[in-house]
Amino acid sequence: MFSLTSYERKALLFIGTILLLGAVIRISKINFSPVKGEEVGYETKININKATLNELMKIPSIGEKIATEIINYRQKNGMFKCLDELKKIKGIGEKKVLLIKDYVSF
């Protein structure tokens, strides 16, 4: 039916392999990528009144400096009672409170 040279058969085999590989990669990306809107990672909240420096630094947008300020405030004034009390700490304002509210507990 078809009469292909050795070179043409190799070229068709190469093109077929590339197409098959592309299809496999596309399917694997679809099957193994996280669902849009699905959070990956954070499962437990960090207790702001008991957390260590390293634990506080795991909270998004909290670095070493603010974590230290939280601990210092806690030592001077006692336990935090509500989220708004965090605004008394230098470096934490309304925006940061909104960012961290889902990651902390009291």
SS3 labels along 10-42: HHHHHHHHHHHHHHHHHHHHHHHCCCCCCCCCC
Other beta carbons within 10 angstroms of residue 25's beta carbon come to 10
Q: Compute how many other C-beta atoms are within 10 angstroms of the C-beta atom of residue 51.
A: 20
41 inside domain:
no
pLDDT at position 37 is: 43
Q: What is the pLDDT of residue 39?
A: 45
Q: DSSP readout, 45-92?
A: -EETTT--HHHHTTSTT--HHHHHHHHHHHHHH----SGGGGGGSTT-
| Chain segment 44-85, per-residue pLDDT in tens | 889 999 999 999 999 988 999 999 999 999 999 999 999 899
How many domains does one find in the chain? 2
Residue 14: what residue type? F
Is the pLDDT assigned to residue 26 strictly greater than 90? no
Q: Is the pTM of this model over 0.85?
A: no
Is position 40 within any domain? no
| pLDDT at residue 36 greater than cutoff 90 | no
pLDDT over threshold 80, residue 40: no
Examine the domain organization and report whether 50 and 97 are in the same domain.
yes
Beta carbons of 97 and 48 less than 8 angstroms apart:
no
- Do 7 and 51 belong to one domain? no
Residue 61 lies in a domain: yes
Q: Which of 29-33, 37-41, 66-70 has the highest mean pLDDT?
A: 66-70
Q: Are 92 and 81 in contact (CB under 8 A)?
A: no
Structural domain that includes position 9: 1-35
